[in-house]
Structure 1
Amino acid sequence: MVVDNGGMSLHRQVFFFGGFDPRSPRHYHRLYRAAVRERQPEASEQVKVGPRQEASAIRDEWDVHWQAPDGETRLTRYAVMRWDDIVLQHWPRHLRQALKDLYQLHVRAQLHGVLTRVRRHAPNMRQLAQMPLYVASGTAVGVALVMSLLSWLTPLPAWLAAVLGVAAWLPLWRTVEKRLDGEWLLRLYAFVNAFAEGRVPAMEARLDALADELVQQARQSRARELLVVGHSVGAIMAVSVLARAVQKAPELGAPGGPQIALLTLGHCTPLMVWQLPADKFREELVRLRAHAPLVWWDFTAPADWAAMAQIPPWMDGNGAAAQLEARSPRFHQQMSPEAYAQLRRDRHRLHMHYLHAPERAGGYDPVTLTAGPLTLADRQAALAKPRAS
């Protein structure tokens, strides 16, 4: 049995996959500690987060101790599965990369019909992703009008006016676009497109290595639950890794061993599924849906412009894994109207809010889901119980 230094048996192992984010596990450790700290004044239980340590080259972890008011304790080992180094290689914010990302989104991804489907199912998401293009067009028109007026009022040659116009347009576009903060979703789109087309070769090897890591930990574990968590693009990574782990170890979730569960937050899985070259990912999604012991819950907010709440991450409800539950975290019910209005104005902050503690207790809470006494299977079983009349 896996125990901590104090001899406590392990209740749960969490394997967390962050989104398209170059920040290291140190950031997610701070974020988790902050979530515990934010909920602590209102909570009836006590939660303590241990120090972060490097468990392997691709996994950092820390312990979370949960103590109920009656003194009963639970131990969770929380691991961040690393691919931030690959993200960092695709994170440059220079002009050439921005233009390349625009090309990948509006030419290559359009060839797969992705944007047409996004417009149909998540129009706000498409609008946010296209913001850099709107800004580029708008600033170009503005500069062109100014340079036309300048060339008309002065003996400025047309070719020189064009050169000066381009020179003025590029920094103006970048300044306005960065201020509106739409580029992060553009880069997310471009990365998913490159990944689907096999233009991120390091990802395949990393996904296999992460799946091996998960299988090794699962086979050694005596925990009650193995919980895989994916946020944003991390939901795509979580699906791939867990599907590969299930293929390597079909016994995952079998009676007598740990329960197997998947929790996705603010998912954008359809962005990958709709890419024409993404046959392998679609096969992985089918394999995961067919794994009967799996319990899969998703929390995605309709107000989140960078996610797809209208479509569940498993896409199709068919399959042996019937324990599928799609929900909204209902952020608006967990905070004051003023705080929620402020949150909605910051699209990036809203997309990251799944990892933060609620202002009001009683609803969606990432700490309770990942460190509390109830497993996802327990929660699913409670839903299946008939209500007393």
Structure 2
Amino acid sequence: MPEEARHTVKTRQMFYIPGYDPVPPRRYRELYRKEGAEQAEISGYQLKLVPKARGVEYFGWGVESEIDGKFTKTEAQVLFWADIVQTSMDQNIARTYLLLLTTAWEYIGSGALFGLMKLRIGPVLAALYPVAMLLVQLFLALGLAAAAYFLSVQYLHWLSGLIAAPLILIGLLTWFKRKDAHLFAYYLMHDYGYSARFKGENPPELELRMAGFADRIAHALQSDVDEVLVVGHSSGAHLAVSILADLIRQGRVPDHGPRLALLTLGQVIPMVSFLRNASRLRGDLNFLCQQKCLSWVDVSAPSDGATFALCDPVSVSGVAPENGKIHPLVLSAAFTQTLSEARQKEIKNKFFRLHFQYLCAFDLPKEYDYFKITAGPEFLADRFARRNHSPSRISRAVNPHTSMSG
């Protein structure tokens, strides 16, 4: 086989693992279609979405590309767990405030919060935002309820005060919850509370879903594609780590099968790995970072306040092996260099839009191009073979909890 052919991806199976996001998987297809077309126009290559392969029962789509004169066909699947997210978010106001207390206690009482503050302040502030916003809402509602009670007692009757106060309290808190599509306090509280509720352990329903994801990836590894690429975004990054660690331990990665690659984007792994009972995740990080049967690239950007940008998830979690590690390669998407000033200004104050920029087009693209990586002719390992870690990589171990299992 010619040397060029051995280093060219003609067929790829890509699995995308979303973060804690309640939206249906078609959102990711439409995002890929829209942003992929824009990136192809900017960068001068051909990219188009086609129907998924016949007989595939899972949600996905096909991608055909021509980049640098080379043709590649990719099958993409979304490893969908939004239904679990939706169920976890289906909590009333009282239970959400109880979740606030238990989550705050877990991060503060275990020392996890103080370890995280030594890394990046942005994601810590993002984690504190729902706590502060929900408390502000509660105090405002209590203040107005108290005012209504005293005014009713003074000018009407004490009984009217007993009726008016709780009605105003409940009514105002309900109004705030209905406005959460703009405030995101409840959404973020449920996000951080989902992991904290079990102190870093995966809930049983999530472990079961992850086992199903592993089966789908294992099936692809038995196929004749050139590369199996797993992409974990945000909270999906730590799921990807554990899923691939399980696959390798179980001996389900064939020696002569497709090349296996992991791309983690905008990861928030420390938010989980720093919790006291996250020994499973810490063990998976320790194990995966030593495996030669895959490549692993971690991409983030300091401009994204929702990620632990350039924090090596293995090293900062305190589980890097003493004899050294292979993975991950930690790189910056460098939003300030790869996005024009006009584009930066457009999305600057859009918290979630920034966090999804990794999946979008760059109008001043450099090495990181999501669509070349997921649909182009280069293997992930080859694309970044000559790259070193970003100079701003953070690798100091600051996790107060380093127990491991696996």
TM-score range, shorter chain: 0.7 to 0.9
Moved more, 156-165 or 38-47: 156-165
Letter matched to residue 116 of structure 1: F
Match in the other structure for 1:230: 232
Moved more, 227-236 or 276-285: 276-285
Match in the other structure for 2:102: 104
What is the distance in 1 between the residues matched to 2:121 and 2:54?
41
Question: Structure 2 stretches of 5 or more lacking a match?
Answer: 1-8, 389-406
Check the 8 A contact 1:130/1:186 in 2, yes or no: no
What is the distance in 2 between the residues matched to 1:320 and 1:339?
40
1:23-60 deviation line (CA, Å, top 9, x unaligned) = 23322111111121111322322112112468666x43
Check the 8 A contact 1:295/1:321 in 2, yes or no: no
- Percent sequence identity over matched residues? 27
1:336-360 deviation line (CA, Å, top 9, x unaligned) = 3232133120111111121111123
1:303-325 deviation line (CA, Å, top 9, x unaligned) = 22221115223335546652531
Shift in alpha-carbon separation, 1:138–1:61, aligned structure 2, 3 A:
closer
Match in the other structure for 2:203: 200
Q: What are the equivalent positions in structure 2 for 1:344-363 lying under 5 Å apart? A: 344-363=348-367
What is the distance in 1 between the residues matched to 2:56 and 2:205?
18
What is the distance in 2 between the residues matched to 1:183 and 1:350?
20
What is the distance in 2 between the residues matched to 1:249 and 1:10?
26
Match in the other structure for 2:295: 295
Match in the other structure for 1:3: none
Between the two proteins, the alignment pairs up a number of residues equal to 372
What is the distance in 2 between the residues matched to 1:380 and 1:323?
13
Residues 1:239 and 2:241 are matched in the alignment: yes
Match in the other structure for 1:166: 169
Check the 8 A contact 1:261/1:376 in 2, yes or no: yes
What is the distance in 1 between the residues matched to 2:142 and 2:213?
51
Provide the TM-score with structure 2 as the length reference: 0.81
Residues 1:260 and 2:263 are matched in the alignment: no
Structure 1 residue 302: Cα displacement: 1.4
What is the distance in 1 between the residues matched to 2:126 and 2:18?
21
Shift in alpha-carbon separation, 1:317–1:369, aligned structure 2, 3 A:
farther
Structure 1 residue 149: Cα displacement: 5.5
Match in the other structure for 2:280: 280
What is the distance in 2 between the residues matched to 1:280 and 1:314?
13
What is the distance in 1 between the residues matched to 2:257 and 2:139?
63
Provide the TM-score with structure 1 as the length reference: 0.84
Question: Structure 1 stretches of 5 or more lacking a match?
Answer: 1-8, 385-389
RMSD over equivalenced CA pairs, Å: 2.9
Residues 1:86 and 2:88 are matched in the alignment: no
Shift in alpha-carbon separation, 1:115–1:320, aligned structure 2, 3 A:
closer
Check the 8 A contact 1:192/1:272 in 2, yes or no: yes
Check the 8 A contact 1:215/1:249 in 2, yes or no: no
Match in the other structure for 2:396: none
Letter matched to residue 346 of structure 1: K
Moved more, 196-205 or 42-51: 196-205
What is the distance in 1 between the residues matched to 2:204 and 2:305?
29
Structure 1 residue 367: Cα displacement: 0.4
Moved more, 327-336 or 178-187: 178-187
What is the distance in 1 between the residues matched to 2:327 and 2:137?
50
Counterpart secondary structure, 1:381: coil
Shift in alpha-carbon separation, 1:193–1:149, aligned structure 2, 3 A:
closer
What is the distance in 2 between the residues matched to 1:296 and 1:268?
16
Check the 8 A contact 1:294/1:321 in 2, yes or no: no
Check the 8 A contact 2:10/2:73 in 1, yes or no: yes
Counterpart secondary structure, 1:382: coil
What is the distance in 2 between the residues matched to 1:241 and 1:118?
24
Moved more, 9-18 or 310-319: 310-319
Check the 8 A contact 1:14/1:76 in 2, yes or no: yes
What is the distance in 1 between the residues matched to 2:133 and 2:36?
39
